Structure 1
Amino acid sequence: MSIYKDKTTLLTGSTRGVGRQIADHILASGGNVIGFARGTSTFEHEQYRQFNVDLSDATAVTAIFNEVRRHTNQIDIVINNAGVLTSQYAMIMPPAAAQSMVNVNLLAPFLISREAAKFMRKSKWGRIINIGSMAASLEPIGDSVYAATKAGLSTLANVMAKEFGSFGVTCNTLGISAIDSDMLAQLPRDKIEEIIKHLPVARFAEIDDILNIIDFFASERSSYVTAQTVFLGGVN
């Protein structure tokens, strides 16, 4: 039986890049997907429904759940995938860019996880999966705020795991390494390749690497796995 069959996954950043591929995977597995995104829906699938929301706006993120409740009373899995990156030396980092990373990469996942957990508490089952980054561990120059927000995601999951564990909800983080995406294209390719070549598994991530861990965290069999961060490629 599919991990996602008869389950509803709330996925942020669902319209492009890694998020779109995660959504395709879940839909192909028979699951339902609620997408949170800013852009126009790129899906034509009867089991996909998109809610347009600016994740940098905390008020809008909280308010959108009123619309979600009119559509469904079920959220089983949350995948906090959406993220923004401005790579810049701390001395010249624009405050607005730093604030945007904090809002989208950390505050939005907090709010979404909190609101979704209210659905999960009623069903006594749930999975919250945060998409982190190798930047949280490697702490590359220019990524002070981005790395801090991604490190914060792990802490967020670890604390929520304690708060939500009593009603069957696990909270974990997947720290992905570099994968070809719009976000990665913002960074100098030579610098990324230099980082990759020093990893124990010296290659770029592929989408199946990511889906494998998401499936593991989402599985019924992973009910005893919580407050964990798995980094791809041997990052530690």
Structure 2
Amino acid sequence: MTSLAGKIALVTGSRRGIGRLVAEHLLERGATVVGFARGEGTIEHAAYRHYRVDVADPAAVQRAFGSIAKDVGPVQIVVNNAAVLTSQYAMIMPPAAAQEMLNVNLLGPFMVSREAAKMMRRTKWGRIVNIGSMAASLEPIGDSIYAATKAGVATLANVLAKELGPLGVTCNTLAVTAIDSEMLAQLPRDKVEAIIQRLPVPRFAEADDILNVLDFLVSDRSGYITAQTIWLGGIN
């Protein structure tokens, strides 16, 4: 595993769950890490910079990137992880909850990728990784909007891969299965376990399952890999 010293990485939703896991891992690998979250930062590290940003607010994202340019430097690695989940039957889904998922889970990655790409264009190198979900493939009952947004981030990455490829920027999606987190705790455990048991590799994801793939996708060696969705657990 090569060092990421000298690289600046941005992780959205860095306050907890997969986002915090990823941010701490990139710090261990030597990167300077910028974290976006709606709440206060939870990581204390000399190379970590936290910005309170709601990725669903385009103006807030643009302001944050202006600050990053002055305070830290050009972002070269982006992990679009921030997401919200309301799991409910469509007929009783509150419209506000559906709108929030669209804004955070889909508009957010678009805005962050858009602003980061402007920096990557100047450095001629970049890695954008969207965190997808098994929900996009398995389409579980109650997750109509959430699954649609996670399918959307994969399509977003694929289109951006074509736009940004000539600039030395790759865009891929890492579709994760269930991992113990606050988001997972919102769902009935028995229903999640029933889904997991139908996977080709019938177990919950562990940290290294995610970080192993992420390490490759953000590395120099992945420069010819773009517009791909990598499914954990054997989903296709």
Task: Please tell me the TM-score bracket, short chain as reference.
Answer: over 0.9
2:60 corresponding residue in structure 1: 60
2:141 corresponding residue in structure 1: 141
CA distance in structure 1 between the aligned counterparts of 2:202 and 2:152, rounded to whole angstroms: 26
SS at match of 2:213: helix
Q: Is the 8 A contact 2:8 2:73 kept in 1?
A: no
1:49 corresponding residue in structure 2: 49
Give the counterpart letter for 2:189 in structure 1: R
Identity %: 65
Structure 2: 5+ residue runs without aligned partners?
Answer: none
1:71 corresponding residue in structure 2: 71
2:40 corresponding residue in structure 1: 40
Q: Is the 8 A contact 1:3 1:219 kept in 2?
A: no
CA distance in structure 1 between the aligned counterparts of 2:3 and 2:177, rounded to whole angstroms: 24
1:203 corresponding residue in structure 2: 203
Tell me by how many angstroms 1:3 deviates. 4.2
1:183 corresponding residue in structure 2: 183
CA distance in structure 1 between the aligned counterparts of 2:21 and 2:73, rounded to whole angstroms: 25
Q: Is the 8 A contact 2:55 2:112 kept in 1?
A: no
Q: Report how many aligned residue pairs link the two structures.
A: 236
Cα displacement string for residues 186-225 of structure 1 (whole angstroms, at most 9, x for unaligned residues): 0000000000001000000001100011111011011000
Q: Cα RMSD between the aligned structures?
A: 1.0
Q: Is the 8 A contact 1:3 1:215 kept in 2?
A: no
Tell me by how many angstroms 1:86 deviates. 0.1
Q: Is the 8 A contact 2:37 2:52 kept in 1?
A: yes
The yes-or-no answer on 1:82 pairing with 2:48 is no
1:234 corresponding residue in structure 2: 234
Structure 1: 5+ residue runs without aligned partners?
Answer: none
CA distance in structure 2 between the aligned counterparts of 1:3 and 1:121, rounded to whole angstroms: 23
CA distance in structure 1 between the aligned counterparts of 2:114 and 2:57, rounded to whole angstroms: 16
SS at match of 1:198: coil
CA distance in structure 1 between the aligned counterparts of 2:3 and 2:38, rounded to whole angstroms: 28
CA distance in structure 2 between the aligned counterparts of 1:97 and 1:3, rounded to whole angstroms: 40
SS at match of 2:216: helix
Q: TM-score, normalised by structure 2?
A: 0.98
CA distance in structure 2 between the aligned counterparts of 1:42 and 1:187, rounded to whole angstroms: 24
CA distance in structure 2 between the aligned counterparts of 1:115 and 1:56, rounded to whole angstroms: 14
CA distance in structure 1 between the aligned counterparts of 2:215 and 2:146, rounded to whole angstroms: 26
1:22 corresponding residue in structure 2: 22
2:118 corresponding residue in structure 1: 118
Q: TM-score, normalised by structure 1?
A: 0.98
CA distance in structure 2 between the aligned counterparts of 1:103 and 1:57, rounded to whole angstroms: 8
CA distance in structure 2 between the aligned counterparts of 1:18 and 1:154, rounded to whole angstroms: 18
